[in-house]
Amino acid sequence: MILNNVKMIGNNEPVNVRIKGQQIMEISSSPINHKSEVLPITFDKAIIFPGLINSHDHLDFNLFPQLGNEIYSNYTEWGEYIHKSYKEEIDQVLQIPSPLRSRWGVFKNLLCGITTVVNHGEPSGMNDDLITVFEKSQSLHSLQLEKNWKLKLNNPLKINLPAVIHVGEGDDWLSFQEIDELIYWNFLKKKLIGVHAVAMSEKQAKNFKAIVWCPQSNYFLLNKTAQVHLLKKHTSILFGTDSTLTSSWDIWEHLRLARKDHLLSDNSLYNSLTSGPASCWNLNCGEIAPGKDADLVVVETSTAKTGFDDFFETVPANILLVAHKGNVRLFDESLLPQLNAIDLSCFSKIYVNGNCKYVQGDLPALMDDIKKYHSSAVFPVSVN
């Protein structure tokens, strides 16, 4: 496959990107003529960037609406409140079998141009046929809600796996103090990856390999977010969406909110979705360079400029193509004439905000299956 006439972020000269197998082979500003290539695609006014890495989601929780209508002091207060106030809504969603919910969670990410998602919780059972579902970590829920977390954290059989744990998700003393407790009990000095870290201080941050920043979820629950402009001096900042229980399905809305905060520069925010998590989770992606996995997103832009403005203005409806490990997983209908070699029987047709996309797998059938269990389930895509 060759992706012709696309602009990389920060470079105004169009380039052509050649992909072979699952990897990027070549990036060139002059035309690439490669006779064996079966799939050249030429774009007009489009930017290209690495498939995003979402470092925090719960794949099976993405059929919930946002639950909560107040500002809470911490996650346990919120949890108790929603189980009391929204019991019926929660039970309705939990009637849907978990594999169907997780499969939707995979599509939720793919539709936004995410090609790697780090799933928190029990292994989802999802394979990597659409995007990479990263689960090579030790998921611990939190200090308050994970039973025997001290024993689990110090399980010598899991010493090589980073421990990923919700921590400091609150605006009170308890949330601050539990971070110290976690650090104290990490006897094996495991690599800790803290999710949320709203209450975290700079001193505490030194004990973490990375922090996953989920600003939209934080503002929804706490009307406050992590001090990432300070924490970044001591640890890596990765970006996460969390599930639709506390945030929008669309990561681009999260990113525009984050950008408005000015806590991270545009470049740091971009890195928190690309090279930063690739390094933290040890993945061969997150960068457009020869030898890297061809996890790529091409987006139509109105201006064809290449600064961060175009990148952060992305909406799912404008995504022209998502490639994952060199395979097309999603494309806009406008590319159909150029994609005549592709086997359309592997794709289904859906509409995102009125724009027709072809997505690998049978998303309409999945939506129908889900509605058998929960007839009023709401999806951000339609089938016609």
Nearest C-alpha neighbor of 14 from the set 52, 51, 50, 43:
43
Q: How far is the CB of 247 from Zn ion (least distance, A)?
A: 10
Q: Residue holding tokens 């990923």?
A: 164
- Cα–Cα distance measured from residue 25 to residue 2, given in angstroms and rounded to the nearest whole number: 10
Binders in 15-54 for Zn ion, by CB under 5 A: none
Q: Is the dihedral of CA 142, 146, 151, 153 positive or negative?
A: negative
Q: How far is the CB of 353 from Zn ion (least distance, A)?
A: 27
How many residues at the interface with Zn ion, by CB under 5 A?
A: 1
Residue nearest to Zn ion (CB): 242
Q: How far is the CB of 57 from Zn ion (least distance, A)?
A: 8
If the CB atoms of residues 242 and 310 are measured against Zn ion, the closer one turns out to be: 242
Q: How far is the CB of 283 from Zn ion (least distance, A)?
A: 20
- Cα–Cα distance measured from residue 175 to residue 205, given in angstroms and rounded to the nearest whole number: 14
Q: How far is the CB of 58 from Zn ion (least distance, A)?
A: 6
Binding mask 188-227 for Zn ion (x = CB under 5 A): ----------------------------------------
Is residue 169 near Zn ion by the rule CB under 5 A? no
If the CB atoms of residues 221 and 381 are measured against Zn ion, the closer one turns out to be: 221
- Cα–Cα distance measured from residue 49 to residue 66, given in angstroms and rounded to the nearest whole number: 30
If the CB atoms of residues 61 and 252 are measured against Zn ion, the closer one turns out to be: 61
If the CB atoms of residues 57 and 293 are measured against Zn ion, the closer one turns out to be: 57
Q: How far is the CB of 80 from Zn ion (least distance, A)?
A: 16
Is residue 83 within 8 A of residue 90, CB to CB? The reply is: yes
Among 135, 242, 300, 310, binds Zn ion (CB under 5 A): 242
Q: Which stretch binds Zn ion (CB under 5 A): 95-103, 147-155, 172-180, 239-247?
A: 239-247
If the CB atoms of residues 43 and 86 are measured against Zn ion, the closer one turns out to be: 86
User: How far out from the chain centre does Cα 224 lie?
Assistant: 21
- Cα–Cα distance measured from residue 192 to residue 273, given in angstroms and rounded to the nearest whole number: 19
If the CB atoms of residues 171 and 242 are measured against Zn ion, the closer one turns out to be: 242
In order of 10, 67, 102, 127, 169, the CA distances from 248 in angstroms are: 28, 11, 16, 24, 18
Q: How far is the CB of 168 from Zn ion (least distance, A)?
A: 13
Q: How far is the CB of 195 from Zn ion (least distance, A)?
A: 6
Residue 21, token pair as written in the block: 């197998």
Q: How far is the CB of 266 from Zn ion (least distance, A)?
A: 25
If the CB atoms of residues 55 and 204 are measured against Zn ion, the closer one turns out to be: 55
Q: Which stretch binds Zn ion (CB under 5 A): 43-51, 242-250, 253-261, 325-333?
A: 242-250
Q: How far is the CB of 323 from Zn ion (least distance, A)?
A: 28
Residue 187: exposed, middle, or buried by beta-carbon count in 10 A (0-12, 13-18, 19+)? exposed
If the CB atoms of residues 120 and 232 are measured against Zn ion, the closer one turns out to be: 120
Residue 342 phi/psi, 5-degree rounding, is: -80, 145
* Contacting residues toward Zn ion, per CB under 5 A: 242
